[in-house]
Amino acid sequence: MRVWICIGSSCHVRGSKEVIETLTGLVKENHVKAEIELAGSFCMGACSKGVSVRIGERIYHVRPEDAKDFFYEVILKEAERCG
């Protein structure tokens, strides 16, 4: 499953680097590197509420301080559903 994380200027200012670092660490820590691929993307057109993260056709807005919860509550569950 591919998870797209916006690295455009607006999301960068909102903390995309921290979100990427957190998610990368959690993918390794949970041994799901084969199931979850993190990828960068430029503007998704939805940058007003936080860092844009897209899984499939759905776009989420993630703040750096919520990235860990987002990983466990959304990404892992979606990966299990797809896998």
pLDDT category of residue 62 using cuts at 50, 70 and 90: very high
Domain boundaries, the chain: 2-82
Q: What are phi and psi of 33, to 5 degrees?
A: -60, -30
Q: Band of the pLDDT at 83, cuts 50, 70, 90?
A: low
What is the CATH superfamily name and number for domain 2-82?
Glutaredoxin (3.40.30.10)
pLDDT bracket for residue 67 (50, 70, 90) = very high
